[in-house]
């Protein structure tokens, strides 16, 4: 299997945003900038969700980009053989905490427990998911979805200039859609070594590269995915609370931080 690691670069611009989308977008901008007590309204790290109508050149939206990249993940990658030899199960949590010398109830122990729980949760209807514990296992999963022998491209967000502000307003300078028939999204999880939460949804997903310029001059080439059918998602999904919508009422889009990535054919 030939694996390429390019960044997105394509050329399709989207059309203008409707008034309803503008109103909701303005509400989120106000939540970010209207008060020093913004956290009473919304956790800043949740400000990654948006509407597909927001993807208009010249539009300005608030986005949270944590200051970490794929290099921080590669430093924690284990060889597949070593990763496969380590138990990865909530049943083994106490043993694992002893191995890594994390006290019960510590932040590290809580993070490990949360990761194992999320990885063991049953997928929703139409979803295929797994939590690879090595790069090789991740590629095996992506290949099983996209097709054995198919060239896999790995798309990730890139910060063109170093960024200090993790949350700021960004102006959309360009929008390019990547024509992907299947999309495997992988999210890094908090764990002592690299663990990915990877999933594929049968319903349509659209992948975009979005060129952004921050209010302090930061430049970002961001990967975004729009899930066009959210009818099977839990009513408690955080995106619905952020956007003020119900499951199935609207596509849900979100930006990927630099240490997450998308696999496409």
What is the distance between the alpha carbons of residues 238 and 46, in angstroms, rounded to a whole number?
Answer: 8
| Alpha carbons 238 and 244: distance in angstroms, whole number | 10
User: Residue 41: in which H helix or E strand, if any?
Assistant: none
pTM: 0.79
pLDDT tens-digit series, residues 12-51: 222 222 333 333 433 343 333 333 333 346 788 899 999 9
- The residues, ordered by sequence, that sit 6+ positions from 103 with a Cβ below 8 Å of its Cβ are 97, 109
| Residues 217-252: tens digit of each pLDDT | 999 999 999 999 999 898 999 999 999 999 999 999
Inter-residue contact 90 to 116 (CB < 8 Å): yes
If pLDDT is split at 50, 70 and 90, which confidence band does 69 have?
low
Residue 72: pLDDT band (50, 70, 90) is: low
Q: Is 89 exposed, middle or buried (0-12, 13-18, 19+ CB in 10 A)?
A: exposed
- Interatomic CA distance for residues 94 and 3, integer angstroms: 37
Report the pLDDT value the prediction gives residue 162, as an integer from 0 to 100.
82
Q: How far apart are CA 178 and CA 54, in angstroms?
A: 17
């Amino acid at each position: 299997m030939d694996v390429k690691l390019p960044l997105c670069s394509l050329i399709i611009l989207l059309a203008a945003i409707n008034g309803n989308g503008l109103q909701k977008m303005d509400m989120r901008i106000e939540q970010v900038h209207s008060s020093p007590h913004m956290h009473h309204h919304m956790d800043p790290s949740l400000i990654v969700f948006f509407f597909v109508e927001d993807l208009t050149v010249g539009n300005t939206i608030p986005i949270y980009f944590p200051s970490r990249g794929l290099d921080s993940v590669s430093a924690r990658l284990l060889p597949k053989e070593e990763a496969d030899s380590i138990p990865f199960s909530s049943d083994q949590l106490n043993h694992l905490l002893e191995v890594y010398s994390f006290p019960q109830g510590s932040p590290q122990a809580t993070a490990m427990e949360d990761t194992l729980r999320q990885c063991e949760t049953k997928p929703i209807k139409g979803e295929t998911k797994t939590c690879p514990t090595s790069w090789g296992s991740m590629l095996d999963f992506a290949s099983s979805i996209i097709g054995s022998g198919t060239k896999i491209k790995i798309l990730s967000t890139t910060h063109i200039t170093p960024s200090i502000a993790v949350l700021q307003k960004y102006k959309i300078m360009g929008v390019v859609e990547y024509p992907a028939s299947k999309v495997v999204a992988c999210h890094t999880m908090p764990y002592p070594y690299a663990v990915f939460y990877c999933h594929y949804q049968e319903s349509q997903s659209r992948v975009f590269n979005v060129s952004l310029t921050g209010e302090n001059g930061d430049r970002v080439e961001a990967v975004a995915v729009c899930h066009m059918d959210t009818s099977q998602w839990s009513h408690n999904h955080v995106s619905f609370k952020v956007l003020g919508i119900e499951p199935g009422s609207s596509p849900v889009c979100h930006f990927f931080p630099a240490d997450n990535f998308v696999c496409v054919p």
